[in-house]
Amino acid sequence: MIKIGVLAALTFTLLSINFPKQLTPEEKHFTYSQVIIKEPKLVVNAPLWGMYVPLSGQIISSSSDTTGMASLTKLFTALAALSDSSRPNQLTVPDQLPSSAPLIGFVPKSKIAFTDVLQASLIPSGNDAATVLGTIDFSLARELPKRLGLTKTEIIEPTGLDPHNISSVQDMLLMGAIIIRNPLLRGIVSQKTFTYEDRVYPSTNRLLGEGFSGIKTGYLPETGAHLLGLTRSNPEVITLVMGTASQDDRFDQSSSFIRQLRAQEIILD
């Protein structure tokens, strides 16, 4: 088990929707309280797993190995799209869209409100929606891990369908912390449904409201199933399981994660 104190591990805060292309010294680090929670004793039946406590900056993880992110990639795509201050309010759907589900059914050459595309990508995890977001200068997404100091993350394409989009447990936990510090993104990843043209699309994260208030799922046959979650607790904890054999397993192991933390009184309702 790897234990890392990361009181200054993140390379910038994200307190507004946009962030500058050049970071000021004040923006390069989060500031944490010095409250350190007691170390939990955990049994998690997933190839890769970890937890991160934003209050203290503590990380506990099973490994420093990398794996394909699958749809967790969409968090980077969304954050990069938000960083582009020149993005239009409406995005044009490209001619070439993925055929792999989940899909929203966006029509090529149609124009979709940016906020709808953002929600469609993160809530029901629409691969066509992430492709549309990727039309907003995708070079920003490719550069984003380096700018964030996430040294074991590489972004190839916007959806996560390519298994060469890779990251480590530690990098993904820190990315989760960045996402929840952005009010817009935190609100989106907590939503149970997304409605578009009178159709309701459920979140892929079925644990929302069942101990979790976010963040994102991922799955590819090549990588297994992932769940990056934010606990509804005091203190908040970001949990991650990666590479479970089935999509149900990621939810079962994440629920077990919370039960163990509660039983050890590390988190409280």
- Chain segment 51-85, per-residue pLDDT in tens: 999 888 889 999 899 999 999 999 999 999 999 98
Residue 204 belongs to some domain of the structure = yes
Average pLDDT over residues 247-251: 96
Give, to the nearest 10 degrees, the angle between helix 169-180 and helix 73-83.
40
Give the predicted TM-score (pTM) of the model. 0.88
Please give the Cα distance from 80 to 71 (Å, whole number): 15
Q: What is the CATH number of the domain that holds 138?
A: 3.40.710.10
Please give the Cα distance from 240 to 254 (Å, whole number): 7
pLDDT in tens, 111-159: 999 999 999 999 999 999 999 999 999 999 999 999 999 999 999 999 9
Residue 87 belongs to some domain of the structure = yes
Using the structure block, give the residue that is written with the tokens 């817009």.
184
User: How far from 267 is each of 112, 135, 148, CA to CA, in Å?
Assistant: 41, 41, 28
pLDDT of residue 58: 86
- Domain count across the chain: 1
Q: Which amino acid belongs to residue 220?
A: L
pLDDT in tens, 180-233: 999 999 999 999 999 999 999 999 999 999 999 999 999 999 999 999 999 999
Residue 222 belongs to some domain of the structure = yes
pLDDT in tens, 13-41: 333 333 333 433 333 333 334 445 677 88
pLDDT of residue 11: 34
Domain housing 33: 2-263
Residue 269 belongs to some domain of the structure = no
- Work out the mean pLDDT of the chain and round it to a whole number: 87
Question: Going by C-beta distance under 8 Å and a sequence separation of 6 or more, which residues neighbour residue 164?
Answer: 68, 154, 156
